[in-house]
Amino acid sequence: MFTCAQCAVEACRSGQLDKMPKNCPLQDPAFFEEVLKEYFQPENHDFFVSSAAVEALGYGHWPRLREVMEFARRMGYTKLGLAFCAGLHQEAAVVDRIFRKNGFQVVSVICKTGSIPKDRAGIPPEFRVRPGTYEVMCNPIAQAELLNREGTQFNVCLGLCVGHDSLFYKYSKALVTTLVAKDRVTGNNPAAAIYCAGGYLKNRLELE
Ligand code: SF4
């Protein structure tokens, strides 16, 4: 089993491979040679090099929102998809405006599209957030299919729920980047729970 998260050596990073742990994935160099070939696949190579370019050129300077646009420009994308959560509708309007001001066409689709009540999707009453109200399901598959239908070249995920985002990634034909990861407790900053895991949020993480 691989346990990089608990590795204190990081021989991969330093290049001091004689120091690698016994269960290090680098014990199988042939695997990495095979994987390296994948980056040279035509559909991957520009994408990968553009990722590196954006990382290097805007390092510590461009916010992620700018990085998304710089990346899209380098890839020659002109039509972006924006799949957003209803809880971030105002934020979606801002992002949409910024993308359009920067010359992109933007197709945006809200999570509640379809207006289908949760019971029609087999969600039992105990899993309603507000029982007794007209509670509409999130519809990440429809979000993806609508963007597919519009032929978006690159899709941006804005605050979709855990799991809904996964289905969106699964059904989206265009590759997806996440601009905002939803976290209802931390103002959409999931890293805050990591930073506070030893203190204020310990009990929320079932660590005590
Ligand atoms: S040295 Fe090996 S085990 Fe440690 S982080 Fe790097 S790849 Fe993982």
Same domain, 119 and 46: no
Q: Is 163 left (phi over 0), alpha (psi -120 to 50) or beta?
A: left
Q: Are residues 97 and 151 in the same domain?
A: yes
Task: Tell me which residue range forms the domain holding 29.
Answer: 24-61
Residues 47 and 127 in one domain: no
pLDDT in tens, the chain (208 residues): 999 999 999 999 999 999 999 999 999 999 999 999 999 999 999 999 999 999 999 999 999 999 999 999 999 999 999 999 999 999 999 999 999 999 999 999 999 999 999 999 999 999 999 888 899 999 999 999 999 999 999 999 999 999 999 999 999 999 999 999 999 999 999 999 999 999 999 999 999 8
pTM: 0.96
Give the domain-ending residue among 35, 61, 87. 61
Residue 138 lies in a domain: yes
Candidates 64, 132, 65, 130; CA nearest to 95 is: 65
Residues with CB under 6 A from ligand 1: 4, 7, 9-12, 20-21, 24-26
- Answer yes or no: do 53 and 147 share one domain: no
In total, how many domains does the chain have? Answer: 2
Instruction: State whether 196 and 108 are in the same domain.
Output: yes
Measure 44 CA to ligand 1 centroid, in angstroms.
25
Q: How far is the CA of 72 from the centre of ligand 1 (A)?
A: 32
Burial class (CB in 10 A: 0-12, 13-18, 19+), 170: exposed
Amino acid at 140: P
Alpha-helix residue ranges (DSSP H) falling in the chain = 11-14, 29-38, 42-57, 64-75, 89-101, 140-150, 164-171, 191-195
Residue 8 lies in a domain: no
What is the residue with the minimal CA distance to atom 2 of ligand 1? 24
